[in-house]
Structure 1
C-alpha cells in the first residue's frame, strides 16, 4: 500500500468540467514527478485556510490515473455548504500552493483482483471510477469493463467527451449512462435513475462479477437493494462509503474546529488518562471522549478526515489499554488484529490508554 505524504503541491491547471464541477491538476513545485504513489480509487485530504488561522480540511478522490507520474487531478463539485469546495472554486487559481496529505483509502482496483469489473457511479461519485477507468485503459487491461453512470442532467455529465472517446477506442469498455436531457444538448440515452433492467441488460452474468459502487446516499441505497435482489453476493460488492458524493450533506465538509476547552471531568464521567507515546504527552480522558478529541485537547496532531469511522485516515496503534468503537468500517481487519484503532471512534473502557501518536 502506498505510504502517505504531507506537503504542498502547486495547482498547475484548473479545468471547468460542468457548471458546478472543476478539475484541479496538482504537481510537485520542486520536481517533475509526484512525491508519492497512489492506487486508482484512493483519495487525498486537502487543507485550505478560508480565514486566517482557521484551517478547513476535506478529502477528494483522485480522478487521474496512477500511470500519470507528473501530476494528480482532483475533480471537485462546488457545494454551497462546503467551506473547502467553495474556497477551491472561488479563490484558488493556477500557480497557488495547496497543502495535501495522502493518499488514503482502500476503495481501489488495479485489475489483479478480478477478470472483469462493473463500475456504478452517481454524480461526482464518478471520480474514483475515472481513475480506475483511465488506469485500466492506460495499462491495456484485457478484462471487460462495465461502466454505469447516473447524473441529474446532460449538463452535469462529467468527463462525457473523454468517456465517449474511450468507448470508441476500447472494445472491452461498455458504457451505459442515464440522465435527463438539458436544454440545448443532445441525449439519446435512457433518462431517470439507473434501474434493475438497465443493470441486467448492460451486464451479462452480473452475479459473478466484482462491482464497485459510489454515489449519493439515496442512489447507493437503491443500487444495493437492486443488486441484492438480483442475487449479487455481498462479498462481490465494494462501496465507497466515504467519498466526494456519498457523505450526507451536513457532514460533506469538515472544518478543523479548535479543540474545546477541557472541562474537569464530572464525577459521573470518570476520567482515566491517555498517553501519546511519540509526543510524550499525557492527558485526562473522560469515558465519553474519543482519542482524537483528547489529542486535539492536548495539542497532539492525528490526521483525520471524516470523523465518522469510515475513511481510515485517523488509524493509529494502541499500545496499552482497551477501547470500544461505534463504527470501524474504515479499519481493515488485518490492521485491527495488529492493534490499530480509529482515533475518531475509540473511547476508553475505563483503564488508561497508551497510543502511538
Structure 2
C-alpha cells in the first residue's frame, strides 16, 4: 500500500467512529426488509436513516417509539442480529393477540417505512456477563437475544463450547429453526437441542417441558457452566425451578424476562395510607394498596413514558424529591441513578406521602 492510500485509510477511522450508534441513542431507522420466520413471527431489518453503524452488545435490546392512533407508545425489543454485522439491526417480533405494538408492526411496518428506536440498553449480554462455557436456554420469542449471542460467537469463529436448548410449542413455532440447524452442523463446538411441548408425527426431537433430568441429559456438565435464559415468565419460572431442584449455583445464572407482572401485589402492598404528589403538575393522588406510581399517574391523566413495565428498561425513570417507595426493579436503574433519587414508576409503590418531579 502506498503512503497516500495509507493516509486515506487512516482518515476513515474517526469518520467511522462518528457514525457509530452511541449508548441510548435515539435514531430514525428505515425498514429495509421483512422476513417471515414463522406463521406469527416476523424479523424486521432496520438501517439508520443517518447512515450510522449500530454498536451494541449481543443480548441487548432497543426501545421502539411509535405513534398509534395519535398516542405515543414505546416497547422494548431484543436485538436478534449480532454486533458483528453493524450495518443493520434486526428485531424479531411475535404477534401477540390483542397486542397493540406487535400487531401494528406486523400489519404496517413495510420496506421503506420509518420509525424511531432508542438504544442500546440492557446488561443481559456477553460483554458484561462473559462465560467460557455458556448454556443458552430460551422459550418462544425469548430466543431473540440468545440468537444475537450465538450469531456473534459463530461470526467470530469463537471456539467456546456452546449448548443451546430452545423450547417451542410445536415444530412450526420454532423461530430460526433452519439457521440453528445449519450453525450446529457447521460449528462442532455448538450443540443445539430443540424441545417442543407438542410434537407431530414427523418430529424426532425432544417432546415435553424442560426439567432437571432433561437439562442434565442434554448438558451433563451443566454445573460447570453459566446459564443465560430468556423467555415468557411461565417458561422462566419453570427454568428457575428445575435448576434450583438440581442444585445449580445461582451465581452462574443470568436471565432476561418479559411478559410477567411487576412483582407480587400482596407482598408489596402497604397498609400505610399512601399518596403521590406530582410537583410540576400540581396534582395529588391517594393510592389504593399496592398501586404503582405509574398506575397513579394514569388515573390522574399524567403521562409517564413506559415500555417493559417490569423494571427492566428504565424508560419510566423519574426523580423522587421526597418520601419512600417500595421498588422492585429488574436492573432498570444503575446504583448511581438510585443514589441520585431516581425511581421507576412501573414498579415503585408509595410508602406514605411521596413527592415526584413531574
Are the equivalent residues in 1 in contact too, given 2:236–2:257 (CA < 8 A)? no
- C-alpha distance in structure 1 between counterparts of 2:33 and 2:286, whole Å: 47
Are the equivalent residues in 2 in contact too, given 1:23–1:76 (CA < 8 A)? yes
Please state how far the C-alpha of 1:295 moved relative to its aligned partner.
6.9
Please state how far the C-alpha of 1:69 moved relative to its aligned partner.
1.0
Corresponding position of 1:262: none
Do residues 322 (structure 1) and 338 (structure 2) align? no
Corresponding position of 1:308: 310
| Mapping of residues 23-172 of structure 1, within 5 Å | 23-31=43-51, 33-34=53-54, 37-51=55-69, 53-110=70-127, 113-172=130-189
How many residues were matched structurally?
323
- C-alpha distance in structure 1 between counterparts of 2:158 and 2:340, whole Å: 34
Are the equivalent residues in 2 in contact too, given 1:33–1:70 (CA < 8 A)? yes
Are the equivalent residues in 2 in contact too, given 1:39–1:66 (CA < 8 A)? yes
For 1:292-317, what per-residue CA distance to the aligned partner results, in whole angstroms no more than 9, with x for missing partners?
56777999875421233344332345
- C-alpha distance in structure 1 between counterparts of 2:110 and 2:24, whole Å: 25
Please state how far the C-alpha of 1:33 moved relative to its aligned partner.
2.3
Q: Secondary structure at the match of 1:95?
A: coil
**Larger mean Cα displacement after TM superposition, 338-347 or 171-180:** 338-347
Q: Higher helix share goes to which structure?
A: 2
Corresponding position of 2:26: 6
User: Measured at CA, do residues 271 and 58 of structure 1 come closer, stay the same or move farther in structure 2, by a change above 3 Å?
Assistant: closer
Which residues of structure 1 form unaligned runs of 5+? 249-267, 276-280
User: Measured at CA, do residues 345 and 191 of structure 1 come closer, stay the same or move farther in structure 2, by a change above 3 Å?
Assistant: closer
Are the equivalent residues in 2 in contact too, given 1:6–1:99 (CA < 8 A)? yes
Are the equivalent residues in 2 in contact too, given 1:105–1:312 (CA < 8 A)? no
**Larger mean Cα displacement after TM superposition, 104-113 or 73-82:** 104-113
Q: Secondary structure at the match of 1:232?
A: coil
- C-alpha distance in structure 2 between counterparts of 1:98 and 1:188, whole Å: 41
For 1:173-211, what per-residue CA distance to the aligned partner results, in whole angstroms no more than 9, with x for missing partners?
11111124457xx43211222232321122132123211
- C-alpha distance in structure 2 between counterparts of 1:30 and 1:331, whole Å: 28
Do residues 210 (structure 1) and 223 (structure 2) align? no
**Larger mean Cα displacement after TM superposition, 98-107 or 61-70:** 98-107
- C-alpha distance in structure 2 between counterparts of 1:28 and 1:176, whole Å: 35
TM-score in terms of structure 1 length: 0.79
Please state how far the C-alpha of 1:132 moved relative to its aligned partner.
0.9
Are the equivalent residues in 2 in contact too, given 1:331–1:341 (CA < 8 A)? no
- C-alpha distance in structure 2 between counterparts of 1:38 and 1:348, whole Å: 35
Do residues 230 (structure 1) and 231 (structure 2) align? no
- C-alpha distance in structure 2 between counterparts of 1:332 and 1:209, whole Å: 28
Q: Secondary structure at the match of 1:40?
A: coil
TM-score in terms of structure 2 length: 0.79
Corresponding position of 1:345: 347
Two-structure CA RMSD over aligned residues (Å): 3.0
Corresponding position of 1:253: none
- C-alpha distance in structure 2 between counterparts of 1:218 and 1:347, whole Å: 24
Please state how far the C-alpha of 1:11 moved relative to its aligned partner.
0.4
- C-alpha distance in structure 2 between counterparts of 1:352 and 1:327, whole Å: 17
Which residues of structure 2 form unaligned runs of 5+? 1-20, 262-271
Please state how far the C-alpha of 1:90 moved relative to its aligned partner.
1.4
User: Measured at CA, do residues 295 and 139 of structure 1 come closer, stay the same or move farther in structure 2, by a change above 3 Å?
Assistant: farther
